[in-house]
Structure 1
Amino acid sequence: MKLLVLLNALVTRLLFVLHSLIGVWRVTEVKKEPKYWLLALLNLLLCLETGLTLKFKKGKGYKWFSPAIFLYLISTVPSLWLLETHRETQFCSNETEQTWENISNREDFNQLKESTPKNEGADHHIIESARVFVSQLSTVCETVWTLGLHQTFLLLLIIGRWLLPIGGEITRDQLSQLLLMFVGTAADILEFTSETLEVENVRHNHALVYAILCVWTWSMLQFPLDLAVQHIGCKLSVSSTRVPTLLLYRHSADLWNIGISLFIQDGPFLVLRLILMSYFKVINQMLVFFTAKNILVVMLQLYRLIVLSLDFRASLQYLPSSRIGGVSCCPCEPNDTTLPPSNWDTDMRECTAIPLEDSPVPSEYQ
């Protein structure tokens, strides 16, 4: 089992490094300047994190945060920024599109096979075939390359988070929930970039392109976080003057999920799309649809926040004032000495049920 954990940790990080190097290679091909290979040095941070994780954590993950995913973002996002801001090659010509179609054509490889002497063997044929394939890939227009790097980037974030060994603070059930959330998030992020940056009027406005890329980069910061599926849990000695803290302890995962949606993804996406439609007069059918979708999501998240607040406020009404005013714990763990000994269960760590409005109040609370 330990060997499998180490193998998963190494293979996942190697995939991250490989994809990052492909992005750096595309930047050097587009810019025609070898100095951009210096971006590959950012992978040294990921190599350092790999060594520290293998030594101190035995390959397992950390609590609430994934340094490997975060460093993968750092090493890949600059390359995508440079590719997106290279305006001269963002629109494919017919010649480059025809080249992309010819990559899968077998005639090129058949001609290569006929021109290769038989005495050179199969190894030389494989090497030459790979060389021709790579040379043809380098002629593909940058729109195809950039979109492909965006797609593989998001897929690797999801697959990598799945392959990375989980830490002791997150369960497999929580990990499955997190991955399902990431799938929907990745689809929305990809739609956001492709829908906005492909508009020609937007592409010619440098300030607008930078604003879109800033919002895109900000939205990517949610991938290293595991807060949306993990509960902080209850703490002892929480005073009644810290009711928001009690609410955070009880509904931590829901509140983080709402906060991520409002301040990292749907909220910024909505603001930028409204600016595009109102100020820059960029209006199309898909933009209007996704703007309405963001408005609906923001409204539902705010409604969810109000429901959680009202439910928490109603649950506090059943706690005696002596428990709320003095030294007590959050509503999900009894620690008051006025409770009968039968209610004390040292083996139980989960929250006990709060009486509903239709349920009778226990005699010991009266």
Structure 2
Amino acid sequence: MRTVSNLNQVLSTVCSNDWILALHQNLLLLLIVGKWLLPLGGGVTRDELSQLLLIFVGTAADILEFTSEMLSDVKEKSPQLVYIVLAVWTWSMLQFPIHVSVVNSKPDNEGEQEAGEVSLLSKYSTDMWSIVEALFIQDGPFLVVRLTVMTYFDVFHQMLVFFAVKNFLVVILNLYRLVVICQDSCSRAGWGSAIPCV
């Protein structure tokens, strides 16, 4: 009985912010380890799974930094923005179960199909999903929230600016990648003369 009371006393000394951060960390770690331990499915090879898990580790670190930094910056200034940060965090967690970042390692069957017969979505499906993920699930929403905090609440510090610039670069590079993919697809289909090169 004394052990239980001592444990309760130790746990009660930990502040609520530390509990929230620990829960976020454990959830992200469980998602990654759980994905690793689950049986392979959906045509995902072990090589693709290993690449996916490496991507998930980086993604989880970015998501964890986003919530811990944003909540500490805005929780006393705007309770409504806290709900927005948590909603964006929840939205960003969708990328873990839907496999949008799977790296496609299957070789192209150039001998079986001509380039003009292959549709843009079928040939670049992995790249397209990666672009959609960056623009609409993670870096795009993160950038909007960070810019809102900097402009509306006048919160500026080194990490906030750094990660806002990082999100902006990821969004711009993914838009550039989308343009490159579209131009490549059009030039293979014989439309290259109608589209100016970047």
The TM-score bracket by the shorter chain reads 0.7 to 0.9
Which residue of structure 2 lines up, in the alignment, with residue 258 of structure 1? Answer: 131
Larger Rg: 1
SS at match of 1:221: helix
Instruction: Indicate if the aligned counterparts of 1:262 and 1:268 stay in contact, CA closer than 8 A.
Output: yes
* 8 A Cα contact 1:170 1:230, kept in partner: no
Contact 1:212 1:272 in 2 (8 A): yes
Alignment counterpart, residue 14 of structure 2, candidates 140, 146, 154? 140
Secondary structure at the aligned position of 1:169 is classed as: coil
The letter for the 2-side match of 1:266 is D
Q: Distance in 2 between matches of 1:150 and 1:144?
A: 10
Say if 1:227 and 1:143 are closer, same or farther in 2 by CA, change over 3 A.
closer
CA distance in 1, matches of 2:138, 2:120: 23
Give yes or no for the alignment of 1:208 onto 2:81. yes
* Residue 167 of structure 1: aligned partner: 41
1:271 aligns with 2:144: yes
Give the unaligned 5+ runs of structure 2.
Answer: 110-115, 192-198
**Alpha-carbon RMSD:** 2.4
Corresponding residue number in structure 2 for 1:191: 65
CA positional deviation for 1:132? 2.5
Distance 1:169 1:128 in 2: 53
CA distance in 2, matches of 1:193, 1:203: 15
| Structure 2 SS opposite 1:282 | coil
What's the TM-score, normalizing by structure 2?
0.83
Q: Deviations over 1:239-281 (max 9, x none)?
A: x8xx9x9101001011101100000000001111111111221
Taking the aligned partners of 2:10 and 2:174, their CA distance within structure 1 comes to 48
Matched, 1:301 2:174: yes
Q: How does 1:303-318 map to 2 (within 5 A)?
A: 303-317=176-190
TM-score normalised per structure 1: 0.47
Alignment of structure 1 residues 1-366 onto 2, 5 Å: 128-129=2-3, 132-199=6-73, 201-229=74-102, 246-317=119-190
Matched AA of 1:290? F
Deviations 1:41-78 (A, max 9, x none): xxxxxxxxxxxxxxxxxxxxxxxxxxxxxxxxxxxxxx
1:300 and 1:203 map into 2 onto residues whose CA distance is: 34
- Percent of residue pairs identical: 55
- Once the 2 structures are TM-superposed, how far is the Cα of residue 229 of structure 1 from its aligned partner? 1.5
Instruction: State the SS of the aligned residue for 2:138.
Output: helix
Q: Partner of 2:112 in structure 1?
A: none
- 2: CA distance, partners of 1:198 / 1:225: 29
Query: 5+ residue gaps in structure 1?
Result: 1-126, 235-239, 319-366
Number of the residue aligned with 2:196? none
Q: Secondary structure at the match of 1:271?
A: helix
| Runs of 4+ deviating beyond 6 Å | none
Residue 101 of structure 2 contacts residue 126 of structure 2 at CA under 8 Å; is this kept in 1?
yes
Q: Following the alignment from structure 1 to structure 2, what is the Cα–Cα distance between the partners of residues 139 and 184?
A: 31
Give the direction of change, closer, same or farther, for the CA distance of 1:168–1:194 in structure 2 (3 Å limit): closer
Q: What's the CA shift string for 1:70-117, capped at 9, x where partnerless? A: xxxxxxxxxxxxxxxxxxxxxxxxxxxxxxxxxxxxxxxxxxxxxxxx
Is the Cα–Cα contact under 8 Å of residues 150 and 156 in structure 2 kept in the other structure? yes
Indicate conservation of the 8 Å contact 2:85/2:145, yes or no. yes
Q: Contact between 2:88 and 2:141, CA under 8 Å: does it hold in 1?
A: yes
Q: Is the 8 A contact 1:202 1:209 kept in 2?
A: yes
Q: Do the aligned partners of residues 227 and 189 (structure 1) sit closer, same or farther apart at CA in structure 2, a change above 3 Å counting?
A: closer
Query: Does the 8 Å contact 1:177/1:229 carry over to 2?
Result: yes
